[in-house]
Structure 1
Amino acid sequence: MCSGLPAGAVRAASVLALVLAVAVTVSACAAPTGFDAVSTPDTGSTGGAVGRFAPYVDVTAPRPRLADLARATGDTTFVLAFVLAGDNSCDPRWDGQTPVGDAGLVSEVSALRAQGGDVVVATGGADGPYLETACTSADALARAYEKALDAVGSHHLDVDIEHSVPVDTMNRALLTVQRDRQVDITYTLPVANQTTGLSPDALNVLHSAAALGVTATVNAMVMNFPYSGSWSDAMIAAAEATAGQIRSVWPDKTPDQVYRALGLTAMIGRNDVGMTTTTADARALLGYARSHSIGYLGFWAIARDNGTCPQEKVAANDCSGVTQSPYEFNGIFRGASS
């Protein structure tokens, strides 16, 4: 994503954080309290229900306060991006600069929770420096993750990996956090192309997770990859390819469980490398998500969800670059429009 999702993502004032993810666990659990259901409640049958929805928020970029966003959009959960390594050390900071316990952000999260909302903590992203490389042991990385989660009282960690990391060390840390804190884990990972799905490095993350016993949602970033045909068809093909990869890594999963372990995060409007996700594309992706009852749907990023720069030819961090009404993509992905 931008400032944190697919490689090459845009960065403006500080970090352009693309969208998703929040998640269902790879074992197809019920959605934790706080996540928005996109359509009807999950009945356990395929078709018609997306498990969870939450857009990304670049917390260090200009934006409305979280409680104001919740009132404006109807959302209850936001993915806060991105926690990086402060001073290239094992010190979790927002965008590598702002303390994770920043009083202003903590106050925002408290106000959101007073309205019944919640937050997910996202690490990594398109740039760096990553905690996953700065922390030299699994124990140190686990403590850094826990410090970031504790700062805002979150029980959901979204690990956005777009660069090389010591995969087993990272997954051992995640297993420690999951066991100690009952934390939900989401892997937000780049798509290589519409045919094969996730990149080889991303697939290695999943094989390591399966071997070590980490339970996680697999959130595919359906953005910024080479494609042919229509962009909506390409995103859907990449999603289906990713479902096939989940099936290969966890062969004991039923078809329903595979799709409940799948998350999708799109980059609304102008993407970083030329393609554009229109509102029609968003509706097509939502249709796929509903028809397979996938576990999670999100987008990068809430501050871009407006039509203030419809002639912009490159991705910006404060507008989508397409003609739209305020929070129109958000409404689509929530299932509020057809």
Structure 2
Amino acid sequence: MGRFDGRRLSLPRLAVLVTVIAGLTYAGTSSWRYVQDAQAASSNGAAWYAAYVDATVTPLYEFEQPTTKADRDIVLSFVVASQTSTCEPAWGGAYSLDAASDDLDLDRRIARLRQQGGSVVVSFGGAVNSELSTTCTDPAALVDAYRSVVERYDLRTIDLDIEGAQLGDTTATTRRAVAMKALQVERAKAGKNLRVWLTLPVSPEGLSTEGRQVVAAMLEQKVDLSGVNVMTMDYGASRAKGQSMLDASTAALTATHRQLSQVYARAGQDVGSATLWRRMGATPMVGQNDVPGEIFSIAAARRLSAFAAEKGLGRMSMWSLNRDRTCGANYPDLTVVSNSCSGVNQGSDSFATLLRGTMTGTPDKTEVAPTATPTGKPTGGRDGADMPLADDPSTSPYPIWAQDETYVEGTRVVWHRNAYVAKWWSLGDVPDDPVVDESASPWRLIGPVLPGEKPIVLPVLPVGTYPAWDQDVAYRKGERVMLKGTPFVAKWYSAGTSPDARSTQNEPSPWRQLTDAELRLAAKVAAEGTD
């Protein structure tokens, strides 16, 4: 006897059976696709958080001294075309890579951050100045320009911030994509992969047509694009009346996700929803935005972080670490954007910590720099420990610290193969004294002496460039004087106080020694015979 006991299947029963089998097949395929999608998303690595740091705005942000995991990884901005040479990369258009090293100690500070487990991404472009591909029309020279930055800072991840008029420059868009592909191929051959992120403006309706074209150009040139980071800020008229900054941001991300799925599909890349979320990032402008009335609050930061975790966003950033603090009482108009504070009352919260949320990844896997204090052969000490290497003036960028030398605020020295800057007047205070609390030490550690360094030669101002300091003269803020050949500028009104007189935290000096950049500018002005 057969299993069905000689009974035949009726047509209605057959139809039901076919439907059930089809449903099971679809469910199995759909489930497998979901598994593949999730696996692809997870293969991109853990989601990471890194806040932008404006490298050139004053006062300089001391990113090399992270206090939490939320400010350990940074996106350093912005490298653009030099104001004097279309194919030369420059920080903020004003500092060549060498000048940034000398005047801002940028290379050393990056090394110091990495010593402490931090990561550095460099961002090209931004809202001001010109992104390299818009001015450098020679394809080979453009690759050279990007390469010089990547190699100098040993980067594994870069960020291309394209906005404003640069979005509509289709020739530059193609030129940039071709250069990125060439650079990725080069780096891969050298065993050092290069991850490329695009950062683009967005509205609650998503990316602009030009923004989508920037993404499409990268895919067309076969660039291995790590992701698209959208600037959830400065919505202006695109934000509906009554729509909160949080709702505008989540709407923008959702719309961008839908748009990117279409852009990838047209490029022949069929990526799933989870993978696409992992290839996206969000960057709010914390606190007061550039647009009046647009305020991204602490509460919005919490909820945007939760949204990112729910969707599986691959990256979170913010503009900027420089601004992640409550403004002081002396800052009168909170509706005016400050480079140094958020414009909202943060209490004990930091935007960085809230936006990082549960993200544990890192954008940059570069080698950790040498330890802060290299050691030599044991000297026979009681515990057998190595002693610090002796400092060599010929391989030190700044003078070696001396016990009997007086140092004023801003003076930089080398001690035990590390560079330090004086926070205030100092005499006999050892820079690396282990028993002195950091807040009480007159010295701030900048970073290690780098391999191959030589003394930084600063120009000597001709006698008479500025008047000699006179104890009988009253000086107003901004006036400059010379003392023993060293130029100083008055920080406020003073009379009878010598620029090299002792100062403390409680009684600071009214004088500041000119920075290296100011000194070079002063020397240039003096050489041109103008004042």
TM-score (norm 2): 0.53
C-alpha displacement of 1:328: 0.9
Match of 2:96 among 87, 94, 99: 99
Q: Which residue of 2 aligns with 1:184?
A: 195
Task: Specify the alignment match of 1:267 in structure 2.
Answer: 285
User: Is 2:53–2:61's contact at 8 Å kept on the other side of the alignment?
Assistant: no
- Give how far 1:27 is off: 7.8
Q: Secondary structure at the match of 2:252?
A: helix
Do 2:53 and 2:77's aligned partners in 1 also have CA atoms closer than 8 Å?
Answer: yes
Alignment of 1:1-338 (within 5 A): 29-31=43-45, 42=46, 51-61=47-57, 62-68=59-65, 70-72=66-68, 74-86=70-82, 87-101=84-98, 102-103=100-101, 104-162=105-163, 163-164=165-166, 165=169, 166-181=172-187, 182-191=193-202, 193-195=203-205, 197-216=206-225, 217-225=227-235, 226-228=238-240, 229-251=243-265, 252-274=270-292, 275-309=294-328, 311-325=333-347, 328-335=350-357
Distance across 2 between alignment mates of 1:169 and 1:273: 32
CA contact (8 A) 1:283 1:332 kept: yes
Contact 2:50 2:70 in 1 (8 A): no
> Contact 2:285–2:319 at 8 Å: present in 1 too?
yes
In 1, the alpha carbon distance for the partners of 2:70 and 2:297 equals: 21
TM superposition shift of 1:63: 3.3
Supply the distance in 1 between the matched residues of 2:346 and 2:87 (Cα, whole angstroms): 41
- Does structure 2 retain, via aligned residues, the 8 Å contact 1:27–1:215? no
Distance 1:83 1:158 in 2: 10
RMSD between aligned residues: 2.0
Q: Helix, strand or coil: the match of 1:78?
A: strand
Letter paired with 1:253? V
What is the Cα deviation at residue 75 of structure 1? 3.2
- Structure showing greater relative contact order (alpha-carbon pairs closer than 8 Å, 6 or more residues apart): 1
* Residues 73 and 330, structure 1, Cα contact 8 Å, conserved in 2: no
Q: Is the 8 A contact 1:88 1:129 kept in 2?
A: no
Distance 1:89 1:287 in 2: 43
Letter matched to residue 247 of structure 1: S
Q: In 2, Cα distance between the equivalents of 1:28 and 1:85?
A: 36
- The list of structure 1 runs, each at least 4 consecutive aligned residues, that deviate by more than 6 angstroms after superposition, is none
Structure 1 residue 83, shift from structure 2 partner: 0.4
The aligned length equals 291
Find the aligned partners of 1:88 and 1:237 in 2 and give their Cα distance: 41
- Report the secondary structure of 1:186's partner residue: strand
Deviations, residues 251-304 of structure 1 (Å, cap 9, x unaligned): 200111110111111100011112110011111211110001111000000010
Q: State the identity %.
A: 32
Structure 1 residue identity aligned to 2:64:
A
8 A contact 2:142–2:179 mirrored in 1:
yes
Give the aligned residue type for 2:213: N
Contact 1:92 1:144 in 2 (8 A): yes
Q: Could you tell me how far 1:105 is from its partner in structure 2?
A: 0.3
Residue 321 of structure 1 aligns to a residue whose secondary structure is coil
What are the superposed Cα offsets for residues 8-36 of structure 1, whole Å, 9 maximum, x if unpaired?
xxxxxxxxxxxxxxxxxx987533xxxxx
Shift in CA distance, 326/158, structure 1 to aligned 2, threshold 3 Å: farther
Give yes or no for contact 2:71–2:321 (8 Å, CA) kept in 1: no
Equivalent residue letter for 2:128? D
Report SS of the residue matched to 1:203.
helix
Equivalent AA in structure 2 for residue 183 of structure 1: L
CA offsets per residue over residues 198-220 of structure 1, 9 Å max, x none? 11111110111111111221001
Residue deviations 1:154-193 (CA, integer Å, cap 9, x gap)? 12110100133311111000111112112100100011x2
Give a deviation string over 1:80-128, Cα, whole Å, max 9, x none: 1000111251100100111224320000011111111120110100011
Q: How far apart are residue 137 of structure 1 and its match?
A: 2.7
Is contact 2:55-2:61 (8 Å) kept?
no
Unmatched segments (≥5 aa) in structure 2: 1-39, 188-192, 360-531
Against the structure 1 CA distance between its residues 144 and 328, is the aligned structure 2 distance closer, same or farther, given a 3 Å change threshold? same
Contact 1:159–1:187 under 8 Å retained in 2: yes
Q: Cα deviations across residues 42-75 of structure 1 (Å, max 9, x unaligned)?
A: 4xxxxxxxx010000001122332221x225543
What's the secondary structure of 1:111's corresponding residue? helix
CA distance in 2, matches of 1:214, 1:336: 29
Q: Which moved more, 1:145-154 or 1:168-177?
A: 145-154
Give the Cα–Cα distance (whole angstroms) in 2 for the partners of residues 132 and 27 of structure 1: 31
Partner amino acid, structure 1, of 2:291: V
Structure 1: gaps (5+ residues) = 1-25, 32-41, 43-50
Q: Does the CA contact (< 8 Å) of 1:118 and 1:154 recur in 2?
A: no
Larger Rg: 2
